[in-house]
Every structure is written in C-alpha cells, then in structure tokens.
C-alpha cells in the first residue's frame, strides 16, 4: 500500500460549505435495541443525496458508539474514489460529546491509501481510499461526517444507473436517499423486497425522487447462501430503456479500426500458416494463443473499467483482463472469416440478471460467442490450458448473458458446457 498526505492530493479539498442543492432531512432520535447493534456502534443517520445534473454525490452519516467494542470498530473513516474522474471534498468531521462539538476535520490527519484490494486477482483499478484514524473516541460519542464526491465515469456517456440500499446487517435509525434530475430525463425505477415509499417533488426544471425510512430492519446473513441471493431492501434506477441500448453502447466501446495494424495482421498471418488452410485448426490455435500466451492482468483505471483496450495494445503487451482478452480473440477470429462477438455475463447473479433493469452495471465478466459451422460456441479466454476439440471446449457458466451483436435487444440463457471428450489410443506389439 502507498501512503501520502491527503491534504496535498490534487483531487481533495476541505470546504465547510455544503452543496446548495441539498434537501433538508428530518430524523427521529431513537436507539435500536441492543440485539440489533453489531460491532459496538450503530448508524443514527445514513443520508445519501445524488444530483446527476451536477454529477455530485453527497453522503452524511452519524455513528453512535455504544460500547468499548464500538470505540475499536467505529473510530475510522474511509472513503474510496477514483481520482481520474472524481474529486473528493470533506465538509465536516465532528465528534459530539455531551452535546458539545469537537472538530476533527484536519487535512493533515488524512492519509491516502492506494486502494488495490484486487491486486491478488491481477486487477489494478487506480482507486484510492481517503483514510482517517480518529483520536480520543469514547463510549457515548456520536461521530458525524459529511463529504461530496463529484464526477462520473465518462465511459457511460452521461447515462446514469445505480442501486440504492436501505438496509444492512445492523439496524439504522434514519435513512434518507434522493435522486435529483432534470424533468425530461427518463428515470426508470424498480423496487426489490420491501422498500420505503417513493415521494417526488418538482422545482422549475428538476424532479426530486426521495426515499426515507425510520428504524430499518436488521438483516442476518446465513452461511452458504446462493451468490445471487440479496435479501436487502433496495431500489434500482436506470436511464437505459432497453438491453438494445446497452448493446449499442458496448458496440461503440469495442470498435477499433485495426485494418492496418502490422502486429495484428502479422499474428493472423502466422496463425494461418500454422493452420495450413484448416479453419478448425486456426480456430483452435487462436483460442489457445489468447488463453495461454496472453496473461490475465487488468489495468482498469477510469473508463477502462468498461472499455476494453485495443487488441493491438493487448497483443503488444501480452496481458489484459477478461474484456481485453475477449476482444483480442474476436479480432483474431474475424481476421480469418470466423464470426465472433463479445458476451457479458454475471457469474454471481446467474439467471437472476433478467430481473434487473437494463444497466451497464449488470455484468462482471466478458467472454466470447463464436458462430461456427451452424453452432454457437462460448469460450472464456481467461481460462488457460484447455485442450481437445474446440466443439467440446469447457464453458463453466449457466447464466443469462448479453451478446454484443448488432440488433440484439434481450438477454439469453446459456447453459454450461461441461461435456468433454476422452480419447484413448492403445498400441499392441506382437
């Protein structure tokens, strides 16, 4: 982990004045029962306000420390952001003790931690965590903090989608979430489980969507729950009207003009020479090259969280993440007349993806669909050392997937292909 003085980071500031567009929030002062408090503290207030016109997301929280265990677990503040397109501004950090405020908003006390939690999985995201260790925290204190993150990932072309949660593993005394957008923006909303009632109000040109809840339920998780199971109260919002919009968006991201790429054309030529005119062999060689000789490593900073790198670049550096390796394989196959397309899949949601509103956030993995000799063959380019005939290649996922093919407007069910083929040759000498 890399540490630096947070106050000197280019995308950090302290500004006590909060955004002028914030809505007023009412609260009830009621503490949860002890059985509904975990880790020695609870959230008295969780307030999240989102203005998608100014691209600002404001969070205001108040923790109450109820035990010595809470002093240990609730005395740190950490906020993650991506400095390639976001700016973090803190407005307040206050400890309330005996109804008296103690200011803790001191820039020099912050540290920046380069937040690469997935490096062990060979993924580099470029995000940072602003980290503050509070001193002199005591049982009975209330810790109040507020900040704004400004900026949206440009890869989404100003189309907004998100999911707002209202519950957690501990009871929350007051939850308030809003979304502020121009009236003419078509915001779709879908509820999951039992959610607070939606209230709306309007100004001259804005519409404000509000959800507020008092004394949320405590949700206890069980061991061995299915990966797709999500019992929490939540609302999904999205400006995407259809999966066709997601397909069109993705086609644009995956489009590179590489007709004159020397390195790519030379690789295609090399594979053709090795295949000696056998298209089945070319298909096999291209797949094994991407799977085995292009290592898995994702540099997913900024828009490259969703935009694949150019296949030319991936071929030169000999590494890439799932979407990079998938697009390289597609270009190699198309270079010899084999139709192939990117496919987005959620390996956790499986068949539950079709319950979501169309959104760019519905998927966590990219693979390839190859249309070959009248068959649909799904290949995961991140799996290495696969052998045997291509038609029997192992594909481990059963899920609803989105094929990035012009005109496609729906998810489709894909079943895992676990079948394999074992050939035994016996040589008998007499």
Q: For residue range 326-364, list pLDDT tens digits in order.
A: 999 999 999 999 999 999 999 999 899 999 999 999 999
Per-residue DSSP letter, 381: T
State residue 420's pLDDT score: 60
> What phi, psi does 108 have (nearest 5°)?
-70, -15
What's the gap between Cα 391 and its chain centre? Answer: 32
Segment among 55-59, 268-272, 295-299 with least mean pLDDT: 295-299
Question: Predicted confidence band at 116 (pLDDT cuts at 50, 70, 90)?
Answer: low
C-alpha distances in angstroms, 69 versus 65, 73, 87, 93?
Answer: 9, 6, 33, 21
Average pLDDT over residues 395-414: 96
What's the gap between Cα 291 and its chain centre? Answer: 24
pLDDT exceeds 70 at position 66: yes
Q: Which residue ranges form the domains of the chain, and what is each CATH number?
A: 3-239 (2.60.40.3140), 246-414 (3.10.620.30)
Average pLDDT over residues 183-211: 96
Average pLDDT over residues 384-393: 87
C-alpha distances in angstroms, 410 versus 43, 174, 322?
Answer: 40, 39, 22
Residues 113/148, Cβ–Cβ less than 8 Å: no
State residue 151's pLDDT score: 97
Which of 26-30, 127-131, 362-366 is the most confident on average?
362-366
State residue 15's pLDDT score: 85
> What phi, psi does 159 have (nearest 5°)?
-100, 130
Question: Predicted confidence band at 419 (pLDDT cuts at 50, 70, 90)?
Answer: low
Average pLDDT over residues 65-91: 95
DSSP 50-87: EETTTTEEEEEEEEEE-SHHHHHHSSEEEEEE-TTT-E
Residues above pLDDT 70, as percent of the chain: 95
Coil/strand/helix, residue 117? coil
Instruction: Using alpha carbons only, give the angle 331, 406, 410 rounded to the nearest 5 degrees.
Output: 120
pLDDT exceeds 80 at position 117: no
pLDDT exceeds 50 at position 406: yes
State residue 32's pLDDT score: 87
pLDDT exceeds 80 at position 2: no
């Amino acid at each position: 982990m890399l540490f630096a003085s947070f106050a000197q980071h280019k995308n950090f500031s302290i500004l006590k004045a909060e955004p002028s567009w914030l809505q007023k929030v009412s609260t009830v002062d009621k503490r949860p029962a002890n059985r509904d408090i975990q880790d020695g503290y609870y959230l008295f207030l969780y307030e999240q306000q989102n203005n998608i016109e100014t691209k600002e997301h404001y969070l205001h929280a108040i923790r109450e420390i109820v035990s010595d265990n809470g002093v240990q677990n609730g005395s740190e503040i950490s906020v993650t952001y991506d400095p390639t397109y976001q700016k973090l501004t803190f407005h307040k950090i206050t400890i309330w003790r005996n109804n008296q405020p103690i200011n803790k908003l001191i820039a020099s006390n912050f540290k920046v931690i380069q937040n690469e939690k997935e490096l062990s999985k060979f993924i580099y995201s470029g995000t940072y965590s602003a980290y503050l260790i509070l001193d002199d925290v005591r049982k009975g204190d209330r810790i109040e903090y507020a900040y704004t993150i400004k900026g949206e990932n440009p890869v989404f072309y100003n189309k907004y989608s998100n999911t707002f949660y209202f519950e957690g593993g501990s009871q929350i005394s007051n939850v308030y979430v809003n979304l502020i957008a121009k009236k003419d923006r078509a915001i779709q909303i879908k509820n999951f489980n039992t959610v607070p009632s939606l209230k709306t109000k309007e100004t001259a040109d804005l519409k404000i969507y509000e959800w507020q809840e008092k004394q949320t339920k405590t949700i206890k998780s069980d061991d061995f729950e299915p990966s797709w199971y999500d019992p929490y109260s939540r609302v999904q919002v999205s400006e995407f009207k259809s999966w066709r919009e997601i397909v069109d968006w993705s086609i644009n991201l995956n489009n590179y003009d590489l007709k004159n790429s020397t390195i790519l054309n030379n690789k295609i030529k090399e594979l053709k020479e090795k295949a000696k005119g056998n298209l089945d062999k070319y298909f096999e060689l291209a797949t094994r090259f991407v799977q085995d000789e292009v290592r898995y490593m994702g540099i997913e900073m900024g828009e490259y969280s969703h935009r694949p790198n150019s296949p030319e670049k991936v071929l030169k550096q000999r590494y890439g993440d799932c979407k990079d390796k998938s697009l390289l394989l597609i270009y190699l196959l198309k270079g010899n007349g084999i139709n192939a397309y990117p496919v987005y899949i959620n390996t956790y949601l499986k068949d539950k993806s079709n319950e979501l509103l169309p959104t760019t956030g519905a998927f966590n993995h990219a693979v390839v669909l190859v249309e070959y000799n009248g068959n649909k063959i799904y290949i995961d380019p991140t799996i290495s050392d696969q052998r045997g005939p291509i038609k029997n290649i192992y594909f481990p996922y059963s899920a609803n997937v989105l094929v990035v093919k012009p005109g496609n407007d729906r998810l489709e069910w894909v079943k895992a292909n676990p079948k394999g083929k074992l050939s035994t040759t016996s040589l008998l000498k007499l």
